[in-house]
Chains A and B, each alone.
Chain A
């Protein structure tokens, strides 16, 4: 971090925003005690994945798009499968859907445990990283790593590999795990469920900064269950549409300062996806014991403090462990493991809930099943404007803090969203400029 000061302005600069996945920079300008500008600049080198998908066969989309994000590859695979299957007019069997949901629970468990324990909790406890946290509270870090390991074990058992799973295909899976293989997950998941309940209790004791923000929440609406791999798209303003109706409503803008596009609803409204949005719109779909844990942790029915998102994430972690156990107990190996999905001309939209928010895929296929047009809308591009709005509020409320503390608070604000900047396009570089 460098720090320069003059009579007319103060400048703070951090050369990497750490503990996020990706590269970007943050610039805040304060003049006369008022925040003038708060911009999250993403300069992850563009990989133009949507362009290189053109001319690929419809069934190649899950493996190619998985490579957009090493932290949430299952989300990419599931949204891709949903979109391609819709384009080809195929609805997969219930056992395949259940196995997909189980795999997806593994990614939620892995990703949420990673974010809560290794990336985010150190901010609340004044540590630089999880190694520092382990010196302070070794039991907590070991608990986090234990939960994370179970998430990875689940992804390896169902997906064949924790990062970029190999067993997923359009139509279902290459091989259905045996009942014995799935049953072996039972014990580690029971331990993870206990550990997740302890996580909810642990994060609820953190000193959480006060901030109330006004959000337009957007999330999938679960049918009966909390949404993960499917659902209609809803909002806190009463929206209730299918993913294919929702996709054209998302207008992405391209600004000079960013290699990520940022999204507005109908070109107008900034909105928020992710755990807080899912919880606000689907709380009644959580099982009783999870809702009780959320209440005991001090969560209201709707959480509007972004710094409390770590508590919501812990509640979802608990849910994912319990849901995975339920799916393990009711597991029926899908037979066949994949339904046939012959390519044909058509278009389809897939929307699923990545750990960090809604992930949309849209494809248009030609009559040989080759992809003509691809559109991917990742959670971080949808959240970018909300993150910037939070930053303005955080800086305005924290002007009395020292440059070092304010910079850290800004970083923490960005990390509230578990941003995956490699998927939005990545290097967070924080600049706070104070002009008098």
Chain B
């Protein structure tokens, strides 16, 4: 990115694929900044917020959700073609989301369990992240994303620099908060050592082990953590499911969950 001209008011678009809307809600949750933000950028396409849309191309596009239908895969290509910078936001867009649990099962069984007329449902066998389909300029993690990190991404785009988003683990955030390590101190199972920071280490601060909303940290040793979780008494049957939630499709978590999957060990 290069520094923009003074007075530059980039056009911002938000597009949604399979998701819960929570990450784009994070933008509306910037109550203190929303109106000044709407002055600093041109909100050109944001269906959750406005019925007015401006045709692309867009300077900065946020994409929420994962790709679960062939129609969405085609729509994403159009979104990419009309966007200068594309940022995928949230666990669905960066790892497939909770719906990527289908990647470990038979989608036919899943659809038949929910719909009386499975033949009406057109869906892919997998839920996949945006980067599997198009070039992504930046991935913002979280289930949901953190709104301060979102504002940092927008601020960076306005300034024409890379966003400053840490890729280290949640452990560093616990240290910063002064939270005593749950795993070391009390033997509470925690995914913090292998999960990317960004939430502010919310769960350990309330005595709950991290459950991995922000996906794998940059350099992780999930195998070593899994061994440690077994040592503190986690039921081996639970271990696979621990790595298999909102970021189940992220390679590091997918691999570790498969290693402990009782279905695959027979």
Q: Interface of A with B (CB < 8 Å)?
A: 14-23, 44-52, 54, 56-57, 60, 63-64, 67-71, 73, 114, 118, 128-132, 134, 138, 141-142, 145-146, 148-149, 152, 160-164, 166-167, 169, 174-175, 252-256, 259, 261, 408, 411, 420, 422-423, 426-427
Contact = CB atoms under 8 A, between A and B. Distances in A.
Contacts of B98: 47, 49, 52, 64, 67
Contacts, number: 194
A218 to B, nearest CB: 22
Given A57-B241, A166-B206, A52 B31 contact: no
A18 B120 contact: no
A404 B187 CA distance: 63
Contacts of A167: 206, 208
Contacts of B53: 15-16, 18
Nearest to A153: B31
A163 B26 contact: yes
Contact of A174 (B43, B114, B121, B208): B208
A73 B17 CA distance: 19
Interface residues of B, number: 63
Nearest to B120: A256
B105 A52 contact: yes
A48 B99 contact: yes
Contacts of B176: none
A166 B191 CA distance: 14
B133 to A, nearest CB: 14
Most buried by A among B25, B43, B50, B144: B50
Contacts of B208: 166-167, 169, 174-175
A423 B116 CA distance: 18
State the 3 A-B residue pairs at the shortest beta-carbon distance, nearest first. A70-B22, A129-B50, A18-B51
Tell me which of A70, A73, A254 has the highest count of chain B C-beta atoms within 10 A of its own C-beta: A70
Given A17-B51, A166-B202, 18 more contacts: A20-B47, A21-B21, A45-B72, A46-B123, A48-B110, A48-B114, A57-B238, A60-B245, A63-B211, A67-B246, A128-B51, A129-B50, A131-B35, A145-B34, A149-B32, A166-B203, A174-B207, A253-B116
Interface of B: 16-26, 28-29, 31-32, 34-35, 38, 43, 47-53, 65, 68-69, 72, 97-99, 101-102, 105, 107, 109-111, 113-117, 120-121, 123, 127, 143-144, 199, 202-203, 206-208, 211, 213, 238, 241, 245-246
Contact of A160 (B38, B113, B202): B202
A254 B35 contact: no
Nearest to B90: A70
Given A67-B97, A67-B143, A131-B50, A50 B19 contact: no
B161 to A, nearest CB: 26
A411 B72 CA distance: 24
Contact of A51 (B20, B110, B199, B206): B110
A70 B202 contact: no
Contact of A68 (B20, B47, B72): B20
B111 A164 contact: no
Most buried by B among A51, A146, A254, A420: A51
A54 B245 CA distance: 13
Nearest to B144: A163
A167 B28 CA distance: 23
Contacts of B120: 254-256
A49 B211 CA distance: 19
11 contacts: A16-B53, A18-B52, A20-B47, A70-B21, A70-B24, A70-B25, A129-B50, A149-B31, A152-B31, A261-B116, A427-B16
A175 B20 CA distance: 26
Given A18-B47, A54-B113, A129-B51, A164 B99 contact: no
Contacts of B19: 70, 422
Contacts of B28: 114, 118
Contacts of A60: 241, 245
Contact of A63 (B114, B123, B127, B245): B245
Contacts of B109: 51
B144 A48 contact: no
A131 B44 CA distance: 12
Contacts of A259: 121
Contacts of A420: 21
A81 B255 CA distance: 31
B108 to A, nearest CB: 10
A47 B99 contact: yes
A20 B48 contact: yes
A259 B107 CA distance: 15
Contacts of A129: 43, 49-52
B111 A48 contact: yes
Contacts of A162: 29
A46 B51 contact: no
B123 to A, nearest CB: 5
B72 A48 contact: no
Contacts of A261: 115-116
